[in-house]
Amino acid sequence: MDTLYTAEALATGGGRNGHVRTSDGILDFDVRVPKEMGGAGGAPNPELLFAAGYAACFHSALQSVARAQKVAIEGSSVGSRVGIGSNGEGGFQLAVELEVNIPDVDHDVAQALADAAHQVCPYSNATRGNIEVRVTVVDD
């Protein structure tokens, strides 16, 4: 792989109840276990960060695919839900739901764009075959 960019982060303290900081200092905050998992909540957690990153990355891939296919997708959005639960073997696993909205574009065209973006997005490529990722196109 010809690396174009490398992001660096360091986690310290108690892991999910600790602190994260990126080498450039852009991100620098405490993380907390969410209340739903028995923690204090009130701060970001790894699943929130993953959901935000995946939504932004997938939306960028969607826009790139649309440009290449000369389809205008003004006002599009991608929502992401990242769930965490037991894998049944003593560990944990993630599951992702992506919700793609492309106003004023035929549903079949929107679905084809979402499917193509799922092949291009680095997050999709990293998770493919490892976790369940469901991509749904919603109409206005």
pLDDT of amino acid 140: 72
Q: Which residues of the chain have pLDDT under 70?
A: none
Residues 78 and 104 occupy one common structural domain: yes
pLDDT of amino acid 75: 97
Residues 65 and 119 occupy one common structural domain: yes
C-alpha dihedral over 25, 97, 34, 89, to 10 degrees? -110
Give the containing element (helix H, strand E) for 5: none
pLDDT of amino acid 132: 96
Kindly list the distances between the CA atom of residue 107 and the CA atoms of 35, 79, 112, in Å, as whole numbers in the listed order. Answer: 37, 17, 9
Residues 83 and 121 occupy one common structural domain: yes
pTM for this prediction: 0.95
pLDDT of amino acid 81: 98
Domains held by the chain: number: 2
- For residue range 63-96, what is the model confidence (pLDDT) as tens digits? 999 999 999 999 999 999 999 999 999 999 999 9
Residues 79 and 24 occupy one common structural domain: no
Mean pLDDT over the full length of the chain: 97
Range of the domain at 130: 46-138
Residues 72 and 119 occupy one common structural domain: yes
Angle at 130 between CA 17 and CA 47, to 5 degrees: 25
Q: Which of 11, 27, 44 is the last residue of a domain?
A: 44
Residues 81 and 40 occupy one common structural domain: no
Kindly list the distances between the CA atom of residue 51 and the CA atoms of 24, 34, 74, 80, 86, in Å, as whole numbers in the listed order. Answer: 21, 14, 22, 5, 18
Residues 6 and 26 occupy one common structural domain: yes
